[in-house]
Amino acid sequence: MSTTTSLRYSLLLLSLLSSFIVFSSSVATSTHGDFLECMSLYSNTLIPIYTTENPSYSSILQTKIGVLRFNSSTTPKPFLIVTPLEESHVQTIVICSRKHGIHIRVRSGGHDFEGLSYTADVPFIVVDLFNLREINVDVKDEVAWVQSGATIGELNYRISEKSNTLGFPAGLWAAVGTGGHFSGGGYGSMLRKYGTASDNVIDARVVDVYGRILDKKSMGEDFFWAIRGGGGGCFGIVLSWKIKLVPVPPTVTIFSVEKTLAEGAISLVHKWQNVAHMLPQELFIFVMIGMSEHGVQDDNSPMVATFRSLFLGDAKELKIVMNERFPELGLDSNDFIEMRWIQSVLFLGGFPANSSTDILDNMSDQEKLFYKGKSDYVRQPISHAGLELIWERLQKDGHTGMSLMPFGGRMSEISESETPFPHRDGVLFDIFYFANWDENQVSESEKYINQLRRTYEFMTPYVSKNPRAAYVNYLDLDLGQSNNGTASYSQAAVWGTKYFKGNFDRLVSVKSKIDPDNFFRHEQSIPSIAYQHRSFHSDLKLHTSYISSFSSHDELHHKKEFLVFQFSL
């Protein structure tokens, strides 16, 4: 190692030791000094490390905080931020963190709903992947490698640079990091045609708990299965993803129309939920219900239903489909706008349709919001009377809205167990609930969050049951949480079965094999039963109680087999 490198780490070490007492008196300062020394020994190149004393610390931490309610003086802060420049740096971080008992949180885009990629209730460091954002597009083979620090917008932009007839079925919010998005499944405007983002992942490079870089072949079938929808921060650090690009036509068509109560908004939503999942796979129409951007409408109501669409085809064809399948929406030729697929990415992401696609190449300045989100899945149409009550509820709250995303099509053709993401056949649509407020209303944030929670409870009769399912990428600690990832199997099953349904058991099995000591963890992470085995007697009662809640002979037999597996480790 060079003299410059050694000096750099010595200075970092002195800086950390002189100020560490501010962060925690419960962990020995020498532990963190040993960690930095370990980093210097294992890496032959400089790894950027920022302490709270560094002038750039705050800007690096805050730039990637997409949910502003976690950007406050009371939010727990990391005592170090590490921003690896190459794959070997991530290996070094994992090896040294594990060796010296340092808790890590991994961040790609920073838009996780509960801020778990950059907050924790114990002393921790943040491994921020924003420097690992390389994207290599192979038009000939219709594949791409994308590093986890790249955003969805950057990925789409790089694809469009190489081809006007290839795309990728990722989410609508362009600033979201691909690392977290793909890890939870990831879906957007092309899910009805091509499924989730993780359905189209064909390889990956992952740093496991032992610091090894593994690909699909070397990690094995179970590991590769788990990272494609099993949630981020649980199994390892995904460095990059190999994805299968999908064909898109040279011309796509969009529309966006607002409907007020006086214009029959409730009846239109009622019709939508019965037809949207049955439309051609090329047609995606989602609905946003909330306050109009244009203020009070003609009927003295501030509430509107906005129908927004992407069609993988031209306007002439879309007009025929809409006239046949959803004429009630009352669209005319002026409502249909033709454009390139990459322009539709901007439009569906909330940008004006004529915006420059260059915006996607750097999403660091995208608007950040004060909000909380929750999710549901609907498997039976909601009655017209039920929709009227929901409309009244949202109008009363004022700061709560919902977005309805249709399923069907390709989503109904893929088995629930194909990836950890299980919400497939039989789902009519997903509901994303949100409460948002501005900087001047921060003092009332709990009021708005509680309104959202009451709306969620109000929706109980209308959504999926046994379990009431949820989307892991819309992480929601209201569903339950552990103390820094220490939940037992039965405790984690409370939220795990909501996110993963019957796939939860296999995720626990994979976790127990590849990360037996539960190194990669957070408040809602997948538990390691190998780790829990150390407290066998204290946890046995909880497991037995959980098993007894299953009445089906087959389910009971399965749970007993799983219990035997757990305590044989």
By annotation, the residues acting in catalysis are 474
- The distance between the two most distant Cα atoms of the chain, rounded to a whole number of Å, is 74
Residue 358 one-letter amino acid: D
Residue 392 one-letter amino acid: E
Spatial separation of the C-alpha atoms in residues 181 and 107, rounded to whole Å? 11
Spatial separation of the C-alpha atoms in residues 399 and 291, rounded to whole Å? 8
DSSP H helices in 315-362: 315-325, 341-348
Residues 378/429, Cβ–Cβ less than 8 Å: yes
**Buried/exposed code over 428-458 (b: 16+ C-beta within 10 A; e: otherwise):** bbbbbbbbbbeeeeeeebeebbebbbebbee
Beta bridge partners of 51: 80
Q: Tokens in use for 94? A: 């994992």
* Extended beta strands in 312-428, E state: 337-339, 370-378, 400-406
Name the residue among 333, 331, 355 with its Cα closest to residue 342. 355
Contact residues for 489 (Cβ-Cβ < 8 A; gap 6+): 508, 527, 529, 532, 539, 542, 543, 546, 566
